């Protein structure tokens, strides 16, 4: 086996010589352009790692049979938690970029046109593979307008791929725990019992939740406003309610990790928006976007897993939960 040398293994000759300052090419001194380049290069490296992790999780959920107590499920939780830690680091890394003042940025900003973070292909691919659909995207008119044809095709390929959101919807729809014939005696339905307990728990002013409950969990009609199907909604809420059972703990942790990803992406967008507003005010972005205005609108609307967060509106206290059938309780508790 050939010995491995540190700098060769990491290809440091390529990485450490990949910072070419546009200001220097134009004979202008701009001391902070090196920081600007390194920050953005490191972001792209971490986007690559996120895509790697999400790709592994998508492969797992493409399987028709995922045992909830298997290594597959725990590995999916582990990898999505890693994605969350990476995203938290990317949020915190903005503090380094914020040490650059508006005048420091203006020293080299005009040399960057029309390049922009808006052209980050990996970020667009990441959003698409997580499950942000094009029709929910803000700024559709210039979403792909600043990209070359090769990158447009890469983004469209990602959008045409099955997203993690869709795979999770399919996984939840296959869960057997609410199957009347398997676990619920006398053809009882868990949600028929749960509905009355939930309605009794509502406070004055919350009665509008009755219609929402029925639309999500009781009716068979397709709700055009939601991408999660009825069975997926039911399974996800069931997991949230009975997460203390060992078999449902990993699925609960996984759903929770999706909400962590959404929250951290929102934090990153808002933090980025505030930084841009401080840095360039009302100016348009170097790539032609509306700058801070675009970032705020995207932050308000680009939630991928919001439908899971909405389900918490329908939780009740543990001590009011209806008892599960004994045979189902044994399965969920690993009893034999």
Model confidence pLDDT, tens digit, residues 217-270: 888 877 777 899 999 999 999 999 999 999 999 999 999 999 999 999 999 999
Band (pLDDT 50/70/90 cuts) for residue 287 is: low
Crossing angle between the packed helical segments 164-173 and 33-61, to the nearest 10 degrees = 30
Write the pLDDT tens digit of every residue in 31-86.
Answer: 999 999 999 999 999 999 999 999 999 999 999 888 655 688 999 999 999 999 99
Band (pLDDT 50/70/90 cuts) for residue 288 is: low
Q: Which residues of 177-200 are buried (b: 16+ CB within 10 A; e: fewer)?
A: bbeeeebbeeeeebbeebbeebee
The ranges assigned to domains in the chain are 33-332
Q: State the CATH class of domain 33-332.
A: mainly alpha
Neighbours of 22 (CB within 10 A): 18
- Percent of the chain clearing pLDDT 90 (strictly above): 60
Q: Which stretch of 270-284, 295-309, 316-330 has the lowest confidence by average pLDDT?
A: 270-284
| Helix residue ranges per DSSP H, 203-245 | 209-213, 230-241
pTM score, two decimals?
0.91
Farthest-apart Cα atoms in the chain, separation: 82
Tokens of 13: 């000759």
């Amino acid at each position: 086996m050939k010995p491995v040398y540190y700098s060769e293994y990491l290809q440091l000759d390529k990485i450490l010589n990949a910072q070419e300052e546009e200001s220097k090419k134009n004979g202008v001194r701009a001391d902070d352009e090196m920081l600007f380049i390194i920050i953005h290069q490191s972001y792209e490296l971490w986007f690559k790692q996120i895509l790697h992790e999400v790709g592994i999780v998508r492969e797992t959920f493409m399987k028709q049979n995922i045992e909830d107590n298997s290594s597959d499920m725990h590995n999916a939780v582990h990898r999505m938690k890693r994605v969350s830690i990476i995203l938290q680091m990317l949020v915190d890394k903005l503090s380094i970029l914020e040490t650059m003042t508006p005048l420091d940025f203006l020293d080299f900003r005009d040399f960057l046109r029309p390049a922009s973070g808006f052209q980050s292909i990996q970020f667009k691919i990441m959003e698409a593979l997580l499950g942000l659909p094009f029709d929910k995207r803000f700024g559709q008119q210039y979403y792909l307008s600043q990209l070359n044809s090769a990158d447009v095709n890469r983004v469209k390929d990602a959008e045409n791929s099955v997203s993690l959101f869709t795979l999770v919807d399919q996984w939840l729809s296959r869960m057997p725990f609410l199957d009347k014939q398997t676990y619920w005696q006398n053809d009882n339905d868990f949600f028929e019992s749960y509905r009355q307990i939930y309605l009794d728990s509502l406070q004055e002013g919350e009665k509008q939740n009755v219609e929402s409950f029925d639309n999500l969990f009781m009716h068979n009609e397709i709700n055009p406003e939601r991408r999660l199907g009825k069975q997926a909604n039911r399974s996800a809420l069931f997991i949230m309610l009975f997460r203390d059972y060992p078999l449902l703990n990993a699925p609960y942790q996984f759903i929770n990790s999706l909400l962590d990803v959404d929250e951290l992406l929102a934090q990153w967008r808002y933090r980025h928006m505030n930084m841009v507003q401080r840095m360039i005010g009302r100016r348009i972005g170097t790539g032609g976007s509306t700058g801070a205005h675009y970032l705020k609108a995207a932050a308000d609307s680009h939630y991928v897993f919001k439908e899971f967060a909405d389900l918490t509106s329908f939780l009740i206290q543990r001590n009011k939960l209806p008892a599960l059938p004994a045979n189902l309780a044994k399965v969920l508790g690993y009893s034999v």
